[in-house]
A and B are shown apart, each in its own frame.
Chain A
Amino acid sequence: MEKSDLSHHILSRYNDDLERVRTNVLQMGGLVEEQLKLAVEALVEGDSRLGEQVARGDVKVNAMEVAIDDDCSRILATRSPAASDLRLIVAVIKTITDLERIGDEAEKIGYIGSRLAAVERPADRYRELKHLGRIVGDMVHEALDAFARLDAEGAVAIAKKDRLVDEEYEAIQRQCITFMMEDPRTIRRALDVLWVARALERIGDHAKNVCEYVVYMVYGKDIRHLSLEDVEKHVQSKSQKAAPEGH
């Protein structure tokens, strides 16, 4: 039902504009995903040049954010969109902010990764960070998939994963504190590891935000600051209502 709302300006340039904005957001997302993947790889493999490259690559993400922002302002000013089109534009403006922040966090991880490459590596070769990085990377990937498919139910399922990320973050934090108490010489490295874990945890939050915008875009309901259970109930009731009308 909502999907057809987004595609009923058939053959109009307006529709082209909206589609292009959507595609651009997803391409920015693809870039951010790649940055995140390379940043974690640089850290885990101890590749300082790759880390620096990620840190430099953030410029591209920022440039895309500015370009998409411009497009959105132009559409708002010239087309005055309404209903689901307006929700799309609002969701896009918010999504690119979060994507840009994810890019910033990836930049930070790349930077710390290039610094950590120079110091001695722990026995576990940052296995926990790799694990957390994978969970967070999957979250970002699936959040963008939900955005592409306008899949509100999927978005809610992904937002739930954020709890898992928080748990992993807690675990890494506890582990770092133990290391620091056992051997004060590792404090510097442990602090860096904590920074990275923190950055990954923040990326998880941003991915969750993107999921919330997907729900907003599809159902027009602002689910920020609501408990996930309430949101789930809401989405389910909406999708059941929508199903018979849709066909």
Chain B
Amino acid sequence: MKLPSSMSSVGWQAAGRLSIAVGLALLVGLILRRVALVLAIVLGIYLVIQIWNLLRIERWLTHRRIESPPDINGPWGEVIAIIDRIYRRKNYHRAQVTGLLREFRRLTTAMPEGAILLGPEHEILWFNGRAAGWLHLHRKRDVGIRIENLVRHPAFVEYLKHGRPVEGVIVYEPADGGRYLSFTLVRTGGSERQLLVVRDVSREMRVESIRKDFVANASHELRSPLTVISGYLDALADDASLDPAWGAPVLEMRRQTERMSSIINDLLELSKLESGERRHIERPIDIAGLLSLLRREAMSLERRPRNVNTQIDSEEWLLGAETEIHSIVSNLLTNAVKYTPSEGEVTLRWWTDDEGGHISVRDTGVGIAAEHIPRLTERFYRVDSGRSREMGGSGLGLAIVKHALQRHEATLTIESTPGKGSTFTCHFPQHRVVSREGVEAGVARLHAVD
């Protein structure tokens, strides 16, 4: 570094000057024969000059923002120059950092999304302009207050506490004519702070509700004319006076109207699942009983695999909406039966572990190629369109399963090997598993209320 070497040279310079002054003083003193007096005067003047310079420097350092550096020659001037350089460099860096911060703040304000930084206790540490506008936050007033004290929607509080559902939660804020806000918590690794991202999803919600209404209304409107058509077709099929040449076409028409009405029924069920979030009555369900009931139904079918088994590995019950759980398993079982040849087997299994409860449907059917698996739960998605139409499916079964599972905070996993068979497994969270004794003791009812 430069500092020590220049300091030392300054020091040498000072020492040199002092020795010249002392030498001159000695010379003059010898001439005047008053060595001590002259030496004392010279040293005294020297000291006064040094102290005076020191005072000027001190004064400059305390008022350096408004005063320019004092003009002093010699070693003190060197020192001032060094200090001045350090300050200039610091000021430059500070200006840069401040500029960056200002830029950052401007950017976060212009950001289309709201952002709120939360501390470990969910207290508000910082937020941008968007979030402030949407949630009526005020910088002076609200920093330090826990977010759930201001955004009090039960769904949001639940999300904050448990982080479920993973993709965030949507709540309705009535202020300023009302808007739907979506909240997503981003946990930064290692840090106890969390970032809450807020988005205005009013538009999406409106479009979504138009779509849902359309599907529900259209299905309703289609159902009544279809009932009339199938009624007449039934009558025609039984009509003996009809030309026998019409027999096959009428049969085909009846098959197609049946298919159409099953599609419409599935659409209606799907839209009910989507919209009826609140109308959801949950009670403990005996899964073992449900599986054996469905097994009996499957075994009574005309076209079925050689065997449908049940494997019950748990005594526990499952907390859920009975009709929906029934529809989940029944849809999975119908698919399995449909795609399993008559010499194959289908197995229904129920088990529980530390993670929760699981229902699986395993078949030894045709299997599904890996590229189709991620898209299976899309509406009307078909692996092989020709074959599945022949089977008479509506293309909505797995979409219904997915929606019904979502309402139970459950997930679906699909494993499949083409030619060997597939396994569809539903994973329910731990808090939905209730013990049989608990059900009998009526504790489950308390659980449902809670």
Contact = CB atoms under 8 A, between A and B. Distances in A.
A145 interface: yes
Contacts, number: 54
Interface stretch (B92-100, B148-156, B196-204, B365-373): B148-156
A45 to B, nearest CB: 12
Q: How large is the interface on A (under 10, 10 to 19, 20 to 34, 35 or more residues)?
A: 20 to 34
Contact of A26 (B121, B142, B148): B148
Contacts of B148: 23, 26-27, 30
Contacts of B174: 37, 134, 137-138, 141
A78 to B, nearest CB: 22
A37 B155 CA distance: 14
Main secondary structure of the interface of B (DSSP, over half): mixed
Contacts of A60: 449-450
B154 A31 contact: yes
Contacts of B450: 60, 63
A27 B152 contact: yes
Interface of A: 19, 22-23, 26-27, 29-31, 33-34, 37-38, 49-50, 53, 59-60, 63, 134, 137-138, 141, 144-145, 148-149, 151
B83 interface: no
B2 interface: no
B157 interface: yes
A33 B152 contact: yes
B250 interface: no
Interface string B114-141: 0000000100000000000000100001
B162 interface: no
B443 to A, nearest CB: 15
Nearest to A29: B152
Contacts of A53: 278-279
A104 B150 CA distance: 23
Mostly, the A contact residues are: helix
A68 B406 CA distance: 32
Contacts of B145: 148-149
A59 B141 CA distance: 34
B283 interface: no
Contacts of A19: 121, 146
Interface of B: 121, 136, 141-142, 145-146, 148-150, 152-154, 157, 172, 174-175, 278-279, 449-450
Q: Which of B142, B145, B149, B150 is packed against the most chain A CB atoms within 10 Å?
A: B149
Contacts of B136: 145
A83 to B, nearest CB: 21
Given A59-B449, A141-B174, A148 B279 contact: no
A8 B279 CA distance: 46
Nearest to A27: B157
Nearest to A52: B279
Q: Which 6 A-B pairs have the closest CB atoms?
A: A30-B152, A148-B149, A26-B149, A49-B279, A31-B154, A27-B157
Contacts of A141: 174-175
A23 B449 contact: no
A148 B150 contact: yes
B150 A34 contact: no
Nearest to A38: B278
A63 B154 contact: no
26 contacts: A23-B146, A23-B149, A26-B148, A26-B149, A27-B148, A27-B152, A27-B154, A27-B157, A30-B148, A30-B153, A30-B157, A31-B154, A34-B153, A34-B154, A37-B174, A49-B278, A50-B278, A53-B278, A59-B449, A63-B449, A63-B450, A141-B174, A148-B149, A149-B142, A149-B145, A149-B150
B449 A144 contact: no
B152 to A, nearest CB: 3
